Structure 1
Amino acid sequence: MDELGDIIQEFLVESHENLDQLDRDLVALEQDPGSREMLSSIFRTIHTIKGTSGFLAFHRLETLTHAGESLLSRLRDGAQQMNPASADALLAMVDTVRKLLESIEETGGEGDVDVESVIAMVTACIEDPSAPKAEAPAPEAKPAKPARSRSAKSKAPVAPEPAAEAPKAPEAPVKAVEVAAQAPEVPAPAVAAAPAVAKPAAPVREPAAEESGQNTKRSIADSSIRVDVDLLDTLMRLVGELVLTRNQIVRGVNDISDPVLARTTQRLNLITSELQESVMKTRMQPIDHIWSKLPRVVRDLSGSLGKQVALAMEGKETELDRSLLEAVKDPLTHLVRNAVDHGIETVEERVAKGKPGQGTLTLRAYHEGGHVIVEIKDDGAGIDVERVAQTALDRGVVTRDQLARMESREIISLVFRPGFSTAKKVTNVSGRGVGMDVVKTNIEQIGGTVDVDSTLGKGTTWRLTIPLTLAIIQALTVECGAERYAIPQVGVDELVFVDGQSGQAIEHVSGAPVYRLRGKLLPLVRLDETLGLPVRNSDRDVYIAVLQADGRRFGLVVDRVLNTEEIVVKPLSGRMKDVGVYAGSTIVGDGKVALILDIASLARRSHLAAEAAERAQLDQVDNRPRGGSIERLLIAGIGERRVAIPLDMVTRLEEFPVERIERVGSREVVQYRDHILPVIRLASLLGCYDVHESETVPAVVYTERGRSVALVVEQIVDIVEDHIEARSDLDDDGLTGSAVIQQRVTELLDVRRAILAADPRFYTEMSEITNSMVGA
């Protein structure tokens, strides 16, 4: 009973609902005995109860419903006709089923409820369909909720027993009203069966029951109702609005010295929090809803791979918002399949390593810090760090210098890069280089994170951090210029204040801002520059929010940090989504609208500064002279070709939505920071076929004296500072030559030619501006 408690509870709730419907349907069937549709519906309901009771080993209930099913089958198939005897037999069966259910609820078993006499009534109707109307069996000495189970055709013999019903009486009027409302054709005697109980029961006897110490606990059927999901969503939205109003009132009361109002506001704050928590609970579902399908996945996959895998589950009762369960299902399934395919070895391999032949895959879920943590842990081979590093080098994902600065955990995280795979062979499960990047993207889209920890030879643990809900979140409110912005608290590691008087300062490496935090250079993103706001003249007295997202740790420079508070996430319009740095909007405590920043998008924009920080760190520990010239280059991908752009010709990296690129005459332009920016696609300039099919395009923006152009590429591959050992002067239109960079032949872009292709007057107007400045 303990293990099947939830299943039995669901069975009881649904069965009671079905029985109430059967009462109404059987009475209506007497008025229209030839209704094949109603007979089929009644048959399906009884069949469902029979099947589930058999599964749960309630054999007497199964036998009783099987007899009723046999009679209904004959009525449905036209083998015999519905008559008063059949109706009474079926209604008696419904009443007895209800008594069995109540016994199961109270004692866990079927008790001594008499089913044989009812089965005999039903069997008699089958053997002799023309028999006269049979008498229903007399009720037991202690009937369970007779008013609830009484049908419109019930017999009068139960009427003289109101006193025996006293403990259960409060439910009688409710059911009586329900029957009367839905079956107005019921004869008067049936409704008036218990006049002494019908009206005074609810207000009089319920207190008496409490005084006498009797148990007034509601039944399972009466303690739960079915609610439409849309209604819950509406209720959640209303609670969100209440939270916003609460925040505004709390903010306003803090400015008023009124103790009475302060106490009232405190009470409002408490009630709102409790209401919010209660409504959120109505949307929560145990993670077992998606875990329940994984044993079959593990069984089938391990069998096809010739492996033995035991699946253990811990914390399957841990609850998540229902809207997040669906988002987590596919990533979780992929990680489980990957663990069975890649992680756990075959029986022979495990035995050779001294391990048990059967591997173990453990799923664990628990609450921590306002989030749900889901771990997928295997005791398999683990991830080979050296192999991951070599694969990353071979594919040009990182350089040797970068690898030298990376910890093992950072190297393992490279498996989340698109197209990355260390599989020795391609199977129908894995090895094609897709999957882990999708897992990471899907989890980050719901405001979560994914991490991996592995020990070679011992196993791997994948850890998903998922918010409890997406509707209301904790956020850090900051200010930049005259605007306010909200940063989801889940991505904030710490806050740093750059005090101008203490000698702290923001440094610049290769033109990119960095901050020296506990001996390490932290790449920075300036929020004012990113959003096109007026730029501060000083790097002093600013705040740095240290953020973690997209596998990167970086700092966001803002003017002020205001506070942390619960915010309600509001969706953005289509136009705002195109900007690419906002995840939503909200209304903060003072009633102003604040945009919610997309940390993952900001992390991608920190790429330039991150590379500069890595180079600076490397320079501090390795200044060994080497032959060849030292050049700083941005490596871009265009089709199968790699093109190098001098870093001093890169002002910033942008990502433009494709639909924002417009044509003016024969040229392409894009609206950029209140200017019309000329655009040139390097694929067209170099005679390549443009295969870019995504919704956005990366671009290199070069700015000089207020004039800018954008060079569109297919992807940003890397930023390198390297010794160019070999160079070729063989050039082509748009190129100045080629060189070996990262062990690959890379073409050197003629940036001047590219800029002129985008804006033929770029350098002419630069000269005019320079001459005018000299003349002045």
Structure 2
Amino acid sequence: MEDFGEIVQEFLVESHENLDQLDSDLVTLERDPQSRELLSSIFRTIHTIKGTSGFLAFGRLETLAHAGESLLSRLRDGVQPVTQETISTLLAMLDGVRALLATIEETGAEGDVPVEEIIARVNRQIAAAKPAAAKPAAAKPSAGKASRGKAVKTSRKAVKTTAPAETAPAEASAAAPHDAAEPDARRPIGELLVEGGGAVDTDVNWALQKQNAGDERPLGSILLDEGKTNTGAVNEALAAQGRRAVADSSIRVDVDLLDALMNLVGELVLVRNQLVRAADEADDPVIVRTTQRLNLITSELQEGIMKTRMQPIEQLWMKLPRVVRDLSNACGKQVKVRMVGAETELDRSLLEAVKDPLTHLVRNAVDHGIEDLSQRAAAGKPAEGVLTLRAYHESGHVTVEVTDDGSGINVEKVRAKAVERGVVGADEAARMEPREVMMQVFQPGFSTADQVTNVSGRGVGMDVVKTNIERIGGAIDVESTLGEGTTWRLTIPLTLAIIQALTIESGGERYVVPQVAVHELVYIDGAQTRIEYVSGAPVYRLRGKLLPLVRLDTALGRPTSSGDEGVYIVVLQGDGRRFGVVVDRVLNTEEVVVKALTARFKELGVYAGATILGDGKVALILDVASLARRSRLSPASERAVEAEEPATPVGGAVDRLLITTVGARRVAIPLDTVTRLEEFAADKLEWVGNREVVQYRGRILPLVRLSALLGVGMAEQGEAVSAVVYTQAGRSVALVVDTIVDIVESSADERGELDDDGLIGSTVVAQRVTELLDVRRAILAADPHFYTESDSALVEA
């Protein structure tokens, strides 16, 4: 494009934008064929492309656009109806226009792109339709006003890329009916006064004649002095002239220039960080104040430059209704697209990066997720499926969801396929939670399709989606309910250039972790907090759940530099798993500039980039997902820990207590009797006889409400209930509490005795009397045969 004239460049950019909008508008028109406003807007846009291409001597493009314009003219005038075949023909015409534009962009000429068949198809549509007897419905008065923004845009394009039109005299413009495409800033004040009701045509023409005769007063002053208008009307007309036109409120900037500015801002941020550190060490009030001011200005400049690169995700979504429409027709389905949060903004480079993964998820949802008409009818669902695209900002990143109301993912089918393909072993697959099973669809070559189609079924795609999203520092997750639908959730950083990061140290070297992946930090002092080992693997008991650990120095192939005391655990989420990384020190959180790595470093697969810290030293940025995979973390590691942990005698005196609330009372449960903490949806609780149960990991889990056991009034039940799960020899029970407060240390010598049913004593925790639960009594209340059958199971084992 460097050799093109400025006019051709402008024409290509604007035409591509128009084509994306036309794709969306035509799909909308198919659903609302009576929309005169939409038809008029589409016609105007095609007319603009045709006129400009003729001016630029692109004959084939002009001929193709003219054919589409002719068909659209008949649709607009009501001569023939809008049908599915008509829309398909117009979409094919747009594809031809797009192909010609691509050739012009690449070679500077139209080339030999075949458009004759498309033109013939359009002409056949025109010839096949019989003239409609009814006259076209008149457009509503509001339609012209509603489409003004669009008209301004296309009119402005014509001004930029076509020959200048003849200009009417000012006298005539005052009385002529105003074109909705003309911005107020370019219209004479007389016309604005007439339109606003502040004056009449004859008075304005009279004032213009006085000006032509030599009166030097402004037109508004003449009308005011002669009593033909009022001050308020003149001020309103002047204000309308002062408003900037929509097309004049923005300019086009080359993306390369924005990239260069972003790089410069990145360098400025690095210098800022170095100055801030130097100012802290200098301890000079003048330098500190100056640095603080520089810090503020740099942050505002950085934010401003980043905003210039931000674009609404609607620009990406605009192409998807066409994809859904074509695919649903090919599959014999009816699918409607809903968009929520289309105004959510994302860095332009990230929009390009997520385009293909998002398109694949949409295609997968239409082909695999949403059922055909007969299946939806049998399930009692509407014939038309709904595909919802949702985007929103959350915790410094953008979340994009693709949700369908289809059949959902059959977890057992995925489990069986995973075993069949050797992705996981049969024993491990049987222990997997449903969410862990669903994550197997991201394995390379994994597919549950019964037959291969031209859309999907080859097992190529979902793993690529996951890889591409992780490459830009994002993550993907899936939630599904059988028979109700599936949600694919993409978590994407706002930008790739400058990120919030946590600086850590291991083995004397500093590393950077993206803040979005960090959940919390834990200091291990070796006394109150400590690292445990199961079969040689380090774990940490975090709020009742066992967290698998990775030593960073070991994972990076460096000698182990520290023991199990005086270290930190950085709790991370990556590759669909939560795990902890053991490091020597946690330094600080700051904005860092991401620098790309050479190919040799990328091959290591552990680093996502590099940055320069405030002291001028280089630090590598860790790739959290790759670190999880490299460390061979298994999602089933917590269950392995549970299975190998020796059972602790129930009811014995222990040092660590889980504090809960039951009604107005505080009840402590020995932490050694806590296998895990869970939350169950209230609507998932069921009854078997006179016992309350819930389905848990493929089994029926008995529940006991401690409020009933202790004779306490139960708190008002919300959407979820908190439960403490105890597991022994493969059997589990759940103790339902109102809330979970904390984990504390307590000495057995400080406890009092109680003989109340369900309690074994009391203690004081945080100045509150806390009762000690008789866990054995509670477990037997939930399952009277728990210990008998557990002991039998242990003997058999």
Q: TM-score, normalised by structure 2?
A: 0.55
**Residue in structure 2 matched with residue 125 of structure 1 by the alignment:** none
Q: Deviations over 1:576-623 (max 9, x none)?
A: 223332111111223221111111221112216767655333334899
Question: 1:581·1:598 contact (CA, 8 Å) conserved in 2?
Answer: yes
Contact kept, 8 Å, 1:103 with 1:110, in 2: the verdict is no
Which one of 366, 376, 388 corresponds to residue 362 of structure 1?
A: 388
2:594 is matched with 569
Percent of residue pairs bearing the same amino acid type: 58
Q: Which residue of 2 aligns with 1:483?
A: 509
- 1:401 CA drift (Å): 3.4
> Aligned in 2, Cα 1:252/1:350: closer, same or farther, shift over 3 Å?
same
Question: Structure 1 residues 513 and 351, CA, compared in 2 at 3 Å: closer, same or farther?
Answer: same
Q: Label 1:449 to 1:44 Cα distance change in 2 as closer, same or farther (>3 A).
A: closer
Distance in 2 separating the partners of 1:364 and 1:275:
30
Letter in structure 2 aligned against 1:105: P
Change (3 A) 1:302 1:586: same
Q: Distance in 2 between matches of 1:305 and 1:110?
A: 56
C-alpha displacement at 1:552, in angstroms? 2.4
Partners of 1:240 and 1:8 lie apart in 2 by 46
Map 1:443-482; keep pairs closer than 5 Å: 443-482=469-508
Residues 485 and 595 in structure 1, CA contact (< 8 A), matched pair in contact too: yes
2: CA distance between counterparts of 1:411 and 1:233?
A: 41
Quick one: distance in 1 between partners of 2:460 and 2:575? Answer: 17
- 1:438 equivalenced with 2:464 (yes/no): yes
Give 1:107 deviation, angstroms. Answer: 9.8
Relative to structure 1, the CA distance from residue 303 to residue 142 in structure 2 (aligned partners, 3 Å threshold; closer, same or farther) is: farther
Distance 1:283 1:97, change over 3 A: farther
Number of the residue aligned with 2:184: 106
- The amino acid that maps onto 1:92 is T
CA distance in 2, matches of 1:336, 1:622: 48
What is the distance in 2 between the residues matched to 1:290 and 1:110?
A: 39
C-alpha distance 215-94 of structure 1, shift in aligned 2 (>3 A) = closer
Picking from 280, 288, 301, the partner of 2:314 is: 288
Alpha-carbon distance, 1:517 to partner = 2.8
Q: How much has 1:553 moved relative to structure 2? A: 2.1
**2:374 aligned to which of 345, 348, 353:** 348
1:355 Cα offset (Å):
1.4
Secondary structure, counterpart of 1:255 in structure 2: helix
1:581 aligned partner: 606
Alignment partners' CA distance in 1, 2:292 and 2:41: 39
The corresponding residue for 1:591 is 616
Report matched runs for 1:166-181 at 5 Å.
none
CA distance in 2 between partners of 1:324 and 1:389 (Å): 33
**Which of 327, 346, 360 is residue 320 of structure 1 equivalent to?**
346
Is residue 384 of structure 1 aligned with residue 410 of structure 2? Answer: yes
Per the alignment, residue 514 of structure 1 pairs with 539
> How far apart are 1:544 and its partner, in Å?
1.3
Greater CA drift, 323-332 or 247-256:
247-256
Q: What is the distance in 1 between the residues matched to 2:215 and 2:43?
A: 30
Change (3 A) 1:609 1:214: closer
* Correspondence for 2:561: 536
Deviation at 1:111, TM superposition (A): 12
Distance 1:6 1:566, change over 3 A: farther
Check whether the contact 1:450–1:464 (CA below 8 A) recurs between aligned residues: yes
What SS is found at the alignment partner of 1:415?
A: helix
Return the offset for 1:274: 1.7
Give the unaligned 5+ runs of structure 1: 23-35, 74-86, 115-138, 144-156, 168-208, 624-776
Quick one: structure 1 residues 375 and 613, their matched pair in 2 at CA, closer, same or farther if it must change by over 3 Å? closer
Q: State the distance in 2 between where 1:621 and 1:416 align.
A: 35
Cα deviation 1:202-259 (Å, max 9, x = unaligned): xxxxxxx99x988633333443222111111001111111112222222233334444
Shift, 1:42, TM fit: 13
Query: What are the within-5 Å matches in structure 2 for residues 397-416 of structure 1?
Result: 397-416=423-442
How far apart in 1 are the matches of 2:60 and 2:369? 50
Distance 2:639 2:357 in 1: 31
Q: Once superposed, what is the RMSD of the aligned Cα atoms?
A: 5.1
- For residues 599-610 of structure 1, the aligned pairs below 5 Å read 599-607=624-632
Cα distance in 1 for partners of 2:496, 2:644 equals 43
Against the structure 1 CA distance between its residues 594 and 166, is the aligned structure 2 distance closer, same or farther, given a 3 Å change threshold?
A: farther
User: Could you tell me how far 1:422 is from its partner in structure 2?
Assistant: 1.6
Contact 1:498 1:544 in 2 (8 A): yes
Whether contact under 8 Å (2:403, 2:488) holds in the other structure is yes
Deviation at 1:40, TM superposition (A): 4.3
Match of 1:393 in 2: 419
Cα distance per residue 1:521-550 (max 9 Å; x no partner): 332222222334342252211111111112
The reply on whether 1:275 has 2:301 as its aligned counterpart is yes
Could you tell me how far apart the structure 1 residues matched to 2:54 and 2:215 are? 37
Preserved CA contact (<8 Å) 1:402 1:614: no
Alignment of 1:125-144 (within 5 A): none
Number of corresponding residues: 505
CA separation of 1:609 and 1:44: change in aligned 2, threshold 3 A? closer
Question: Shift of residue 279 of structure 1?
Answer: 0.8
SS in 1 for 2:246: coil
SS in 2 for 1:92: coil
Query: 1:619 corresponds to which residue?
Result: 644
Q: Which amino acid aligns with 1:484?
A: R
Q: Deviation digits for residues 683-712 of structure 1, max 9, x if unmatched?
A: xxxxxxxxxxxxxxxxxxxxxxxxxxxxxx
Cα distance in 2 for residues equivalent to 1:238 and 1:158: 56
**1:157-306 mapped onto 2 (5 Å cutoff):** 164=218, 216-306=242-332
The 3-state SS of whatever aligns with 2:450 is: coil
Q: In 1, are the aligned partners of 2:185 and 2:242 still within 8 Å (CA)?
A: no
Contact 1:509/1:612 (8 A) holds in 2: no
User: Which of 433, 438, 444 is equivalent to 1:418?
Assistant: 444
1 CA distance for matches of 2:337 and 2:288? 54
Query: Whose Rg is larger?
Result: 1
Deviations 1:160-191 (A, max 9, x none): 89864999xxxxxxxxxxxxxxxxxxxxxxxx
1:528/1:43 Cα in 2 relative to 1: closer, same or farther (>3 Å)? closer
In the alignment, the residues of structure 2 paired with residue 603 and residue 94 of structure 1 have an alpha-carbon distance, to the nearest angstrom, of 73
Residue-by-residue CA offset, 1:437-458 (whole Å, 9 max, x unaligned): 1111111111111111111111
Unpaired runs of at least 5, structure 2: 1-23, 26-36, 77-142, 193-203, 222-234, 649-797
> Per-residue displacement from partner, 1:485-522 (whole Å, max 9, x unpaired)?
100112112212111233x4333444433333334333
1:12/1:221 contact within 8 Å kept? no
Give the deviation of 1:571 after TM superposition.
0.9
Q: Distance in 1 between matches of 2:216 and 2:273?
A: 55
State the shift of 1:568 in Å. Answer: 0.6
Contact 1:513 1:609 in 2 (8 A): no
d(CA) in 1 for partners of 2:445 and 2:56? 58
Q: Determine whether 1:92 maps to 2:117.
A: no
What residue in structure 1 maps to residue 551 of structure 2?
526
Paired residue for 1:698? none
Asked if the contact 2:555/2:631 (under 8 Å) is kept, the reply is: no
In structure 1, distance between residues paired with 2:356 and 2:262: 26
Q: CA deviation at 1:379?
A: 1.0
CA distance in 2, matches of 1:592, 1:409: 41
Q: Is the 8 A contact 1:584 1:595 kept in 2?
A: yes
Moved more, 450-459 or 344-353: 344-353
Whether the aligned pair in 2 keeps the contact of 1:514 and 1:609 (CA below 8 Å) is no
Q: How far apart are the structure 1 equivalents of 2:451 and 2:287? A: 70
